[in-house]
C-alpha cells in the first residue's frame, strides 16, 4: 500500500509540474505568505458536483501559488490535523492525492463546526507566525442557516481577528449552498477584504480560476451545451503578441475543449510553445509568441455549461498626443504605435479614432501613409486631419488599432481639448508720400484671445516688411500701452521705405499657451507708399576754414590780442612795481606828503610807479633823488651825497633805508617818515589849512 501511495505521489508531482503554466501566478500574493485551505467534509460529501468543485479548486490553488506554503486541513464537528507542504514539492502533490482520497459521499447528518474551524485556523496561522498577506480559503456550503443570529454574530466577530493580522478569508461556496448561506458566507469574506466565489455558477467558477491563476481574462464565449451540441468561439490574435492564455471553466469534466491555431492545428501539450493545465472543471492553455490571426476554441459536451475567456500579453500600445488645440483651426490627430518603448512598423494597420463630446461624435481613420496629414510613411506615427472645433470643448478619444485583413484590435483611450488660443491681427497703414530715408509707421498689430486683449512680449513677435520688389526693409516693433512687465497687446511697425509702390507686412507670434508651444502668423499687402526724392544740387567747392573767416574778425582778433598783451604787461609791471606807501610829517605833526597820492606822469605810473622823484615833494629840498618802494621796503637814493641831509641826526649817504619813524633833517627842517597814518592825523592841521 505504501509503495502504491508513493508511486501515485511521484506521478501526481510529475503531472502538477509538467502541466503547470510557466508564467501564471496569483495577483497580489506575497511570495513568503502562507495559504491555509480548510475543507468542510460534511459539505463536500453531499454531492458529486460539490466534490468535483473542491478537487478542482484545491488543484488550481496548488498550481498557481509559487513560493507560498500550502496547508491542508479537513474539518467536520472538530478540526482535523494541519498538513503543511512547500510549494512545488513532491510532498505537496502526494498530500493533495491523499487529501482527495478522503473526500467522498458522507452519510453523517449535521454540519461542520464553522466556528471551531475558523478559530483553529487563526490559531494555526498565529503559531506559524504567518506574515501579512496570508490567507484562509474556506471550502463549504454551510452558511449556518439553522444557527441563531447570535451565533452568526460571534462568528463574524471571530472573523474580524483576521483583519488585525492583515489576513484575508476567501470562501468557495459549493454548488449545494443555499441562497441564505451564500449571503452570509459573502459577508464572512468581505469582513476580511476577501472574496466569496459562487462555485455553483459558471461565472463564479471562471472568476475563481482567473483570479487564482493571476489572469485578467476577457470572455470569449459563455453558453450551455445541449446534448450532442458544440460551441465555437473565435479569438483574433494581433501581431507581435507575446503570450495568449485561454481559460476554460466547465461544470462537467465531460465537456471537451479544443483550441486551433490559424492554420487549423489543434493545441497539444507536445507543442514547444504550448502549456496546458487541466483539472476536472478547468483547462488553461498558454501559448507563447502565438501566430497572428484567427484562433478557434471549440467546446463539446452534453447538458453542461462552459465559459471561455482569453488574456493577451502584447507589447503594442497606442500613445496619443493629448494636445490642447486652438478653436477654429483644423486638428491634426496623431498617435504612435509602440512595441514596448520603440515605435512599431505594422503592415496593413490603421487606427480608428472616435472623438466624443456633448455636441456629438465623429470617427477618423489615422494612417501611416505619408498622406492626408501624415508626414512620413512607415515611421509608426499615424495621423489624420480633422475639422476644426467651433467652441471650447473636451472630447474623449477612443483609439482602436486595426488591420485590413485581420479582425484583431488593440485599444486605447485619451482626451483632446479645444481652447481659444491667442490670435494675431495685422492692419496696414498707408503713410502717404514720405521723404527718402524717413522712418514711418506702416502697420499695426493687435493680439487678442476670445475677443479680449492678450498681452505678450515684443520679443515673441517677428515682422518682415517687404518692398514692392519683395526685398526686406529695415523695421522695428514698438509696443503701445505696455504694462509694467513690458507686455502689450498693441504694437506699431516702423520701417524705412526705399521705393515707391505697394509694400507688404508679414507678422508672426511664437509663444507658449497652456504649456503648449504654438505659433500664428498673418500678413497684409497693398500698403501704398510714395517716396519723395531730394532735389539735385550741383556741388560747390567748399571754402577752407581760414577763408571762411571775414576780415573784420581778423582785425578784431588782432586788437583783442594787442589789448590782452598790454594788459598782461601792465599786470606784470604792477606785480613787480608796488604802489608807493608811507607818509612824511614835520616836527609839528602835520602831514607833508602822502606817497600814495604822488602825481606821476602816465609813463611813470605805467612803467615805474614805485619810484617817486624828490622833485615831486616841494617841501623836500633835495634835487636829483628819488624814493624807491619795493616789496621788501622803501629807500631814498641820491646821485651823490647831499651835505645838508641828515638821517636821525647823522650825515646821510647816497642810499638811505626808510623805516618807520625815521627822521630826516634837511635845510634846518626835521621831517619824519611813517608807514602808517596816525589816528589823530585827521585832527591835525593839513597843508593849505
Residue 248, C-beta contacts closer than 8 angstroms, at least 6 positions apart: 257, 282, 283, 284, 285, 297, 299, 306, 307, 308
Strands (E) across 263-330 are located at 274-278, 282-288, 293-301, 304-314, 316-320, 324-326
- Dist CA 90 CA 93 (whole Å): 5
- Dist CA 370 CA 558 (whole Å): 92
pLDDT of residue 136: 93
Identify the three-state secondary structure at position 74. strand
Other residues' Cβ atoms within 10 Å of the Cβ of residue 644:
12
Domains in the chain, start-ordered, CATH in brackets? 2-200 (3.40.50.410), 218-314 (2.60.120.380), 316-419 (2.60.40.10), 423-532 (2.60.40.1930), 583-683 (2.60.200.20)
The region that residue 501 occupies, defined by phi over 0 for left and psi between -120 and 50 for alpha, beta otherwise, is left
All 3 cell numbers of residue 412? 486605447
Separation of CA 539 from chain center: 66
Identify the burial level of 573 via C-beta atoms within 10 angstroms of its C-beta, where 0-12 means exposed, 13-18 middle and 19 or more buried.
Answer: middle
Separation of CA 404 from chain center: 40
Q: What is the 3-state secondary structure (H, E, C) of 99-166?
A: HHHCCCCCCCCCCCCHHHHHHHHHHHHHHCCCCCCCEEEEEECCCCCCCCHHHHHHHHHHHHHHHHCC
Q: Which helix (H) or strand (E) holds 605?
A: helix 602-607
pLDDT of residue 65: 61
Other residues' Cβ atoms within 10 Å of the Cβ of residue 169:
26
Strands (E) across 533-680 are located at 583-586, 591-594, 611-613, 625-630, 633-638, 645-647, 650-651, 655-658, 662-666, 669-674
Listing DSSP states for 411-466 in one string gives EEEEEEEEEPPPEEEEEE---EEEETT--EEEEEEEEEETTEE--EEGGGEEEEEE
Residue 70, C-beta contacts closer than 8 angstroms, at least 6 positions apart: 35, 36, 37, 61, 62, 84, 85, 87, 92
Separation of CA 456 from chain center: 20
Q: Which residues pair with 344 in a beta bridge?
A: none
Other residues' Cβ atoms within 10 Å of the Cβ of residue 210:
21
What size, in residues, is the chain? 689
Backbone torsions φ then ψ of 365, nearest 5 degrees: -100, 120
- Dist CA 297 CA 223 (whole Å): 13
pLDDT of residue 25: 37
Listing DSSP states for 495-518 in one string gives E---SSEEEEEEEEEEEEETTEEE
Backbone torsions φ then ψ of 54, nearest 5 degrees: -65, -45
Q: Report the chain (689 residues): mean pLDDT per 10 consecutive residues.
A: 34 33 43 84 83 87 76 86 80 80 66 87 91 91 82 90 93 91 92 91 90 86 82 85 89 87 86 87 89 87 86 82 78 82 80 82 82 76 83 83 82 81 85 82 84 83 87 85 78 86 87 77 84 72 72 82 80 74 82 80 76 78 80 80 78 81 80 76 48
Amino acid at each position: 500500500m505504501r509503495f502504491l501511495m508513493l508511486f501515485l505521489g511521484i506521478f501526481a508531482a510529475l503531472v502538477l509540474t509538467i502541466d503547470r503554466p510557466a508564467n501564471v501566478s496569483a495577483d497580489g500574493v506575497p511570495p513568503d505568505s502562507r495559504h491555509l485551505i480548510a475543507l468542510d467534509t460534511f459539505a463536500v460529501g453531499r454531492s458529486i458536483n460539490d466534490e468535483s468543485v473542491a478537487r478542482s479548486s484545491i488543484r488550481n490553488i496548488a498550481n498557481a501559488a509559487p513560493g507560498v506554503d500550502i496547508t491542508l486541513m479537513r474539518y467536520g464537528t472538530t478540526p482535523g490535523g494541519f498538513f503543511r507542504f512547500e510549494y512545488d514539492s513532491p510532498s505537496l502533490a502526494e498530500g493533495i492525492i491523499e487529501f482527495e482520497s478522503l473526500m467522498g459521499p458522507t452519510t453523517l447528518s449535521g454540519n461542520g463546526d464553522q466556528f471551531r474551524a475558523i478559530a483553529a485556523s487563526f490559531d494555526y496561522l498565529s503559531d506559524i507566525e504567518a506574515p501579512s498577506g496570508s490567507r484562509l480559503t474556506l471550502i463549504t456550503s454551510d452558511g449556518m442557516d439553522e444557527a441563531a443570529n447570535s451565533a452568526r454574530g460571534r462568528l463574524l466577530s471571530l472573523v474580524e481577528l483576521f483583519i488585525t493580522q492583515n489576513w484575508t478569508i476567501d470562501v468557495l461556496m459549493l454548488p449545494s449552498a443555499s441562497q441564505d448561506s451564500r449571503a452570509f458566507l459573502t459577508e464572512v469574506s468581505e469582513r476580511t477584504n476577501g472574496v466569496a466565489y459562487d462555485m455553483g455558477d459558471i461565472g463564479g467558477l471562471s472568476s475563481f480560476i482567473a483570479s487564482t491563476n493571476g489572469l485578467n481574462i476577457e470572455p470569449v464565449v459563455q453558453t450551455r451545451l445541449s446534448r450532442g451540441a458544440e460551441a465555437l468561439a473565435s479569438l483574433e490574435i494581433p501581431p507581435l503578441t507575446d503570450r495568449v492564455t485561454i481559460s476554460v471553466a466547465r461544470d462537467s469534466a465531460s465537456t471537451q475543449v479544443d483550441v486551433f491555431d490559424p492554420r487549423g492545428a489543434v493545441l497539444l501539450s507536445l507543442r514547444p510553445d504550448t502549456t496546458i493545465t487541466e483539472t476536472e472543471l478547468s483547462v488553461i492553455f498558454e501559448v507563447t509568441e502565438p501566430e497572428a490571426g484567427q484562433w478557434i476554441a471549440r467546446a463539446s459536451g452534453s447538458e453542461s455549461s462552459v465559459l471561455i475567456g482569453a488574456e493577451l500579453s502584447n507589447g503594442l500600445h497606442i500613445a496619443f498626443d493629448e494636445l490642447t488645440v486652438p478653436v477654429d483651426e483644423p486638428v491634426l490627430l496623431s498617435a504612435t504605435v509602440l512595441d514596448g518603448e520603440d515605435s512599431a512598423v505594422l503592415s496593413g494597420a490603421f487606427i480608428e479614432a472616435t472623438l466624443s463630446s456633448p455636441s456629438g461624435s465623429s470617427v477618423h481613420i489615422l494612417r501611416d501613409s505619408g498622406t492626408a496629414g501624415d508626414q512620413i510613411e512607415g515611421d509608426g506615427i499615424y495621423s489624420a486631419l480633422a475639422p476644426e472645433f467651433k467652441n471650447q470643448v473636451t472630447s474623449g478619444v477612443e483609439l482602436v488599432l486595426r488591420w485590413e485583413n485581420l479582425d484583431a484590435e488593440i485599444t486605447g483611450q485619451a482626451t483632446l481639448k479645444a481652447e481659444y488660443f491667442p490670435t494675431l491681427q495685422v492692419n496696414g497703414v498707408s503713410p502717404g508720400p514720405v521723404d527718402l530715408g524717413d522712418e514711418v509707421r506702416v502697420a499695426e498689430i493687435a493680439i487678442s484671445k476670445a475677443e479680449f486683449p492678450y498681452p505678450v512680449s515684443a520679443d515673441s513677435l517677428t515682422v518682415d516688411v517687404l518692398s514692392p520688389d519683395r526685398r526686406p526693409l529695415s523695421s522695428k516693433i514698438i509696443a503701445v500701452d505696455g504694462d509694467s512687465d513690458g507686455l502689450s497687446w498693441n504694437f506699431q511697425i516702423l520701417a524705412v521705405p526705399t521705393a515707391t509702390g505697394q509694400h507688404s507686412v508679414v507678422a508672426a507670434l511664437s509663444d507658449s499657451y497652456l504649456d503648449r508651444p504654438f505659433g500664428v502668423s498673418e500678413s497684409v499687402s497693398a500698403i501704398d507708399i510714395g517716396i519723395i526724392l531730394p532735389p539735385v544740387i550741383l556741388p560747390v567747392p567748399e571754402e577752407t576754414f581760414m577763408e571762411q573767416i571775414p576780415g573784420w574778425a581778423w582785425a578784431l582778433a588782432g586788437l583783442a590780442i594787442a589789448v590782452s598783451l598790454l594788459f598782461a604787461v601792465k599786470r606784470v609791471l604792477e606785480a613787480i612795481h608796488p604802489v608807493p606807501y608811507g607818509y612824511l610829517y614835520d616836527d609839528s605833526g602835520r602831514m607833508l606828503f602822502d606817497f600814495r597820492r604822488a602825481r606821476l606822469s602816465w609813463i611813470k605810473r605805467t612803467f615805474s610807479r614805485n619810484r617817486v622823484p624828490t622833485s615831486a615833494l616841494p617841501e623836500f629840498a633835495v634835487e636829483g633823488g628819488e624814493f624807491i618802494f619795493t616789496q621788501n621796503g622803501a629807500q631814498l637814493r641820491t646821485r651823490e651825497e647831499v651835505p645838508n641831509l641828515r638821517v636821525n641826526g647823522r650825515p646821510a649817504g647816497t642810499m638811505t633805508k626808510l623805516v618807520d619813524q625815521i627822521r630826516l633833517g634837511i635845510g634846518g627842517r626835521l621831517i619824519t617818515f611813517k608807514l602808517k597814518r596816525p589816528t589823530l592825523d585827521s585832527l591835525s592841521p593839513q597843508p593849505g589849512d
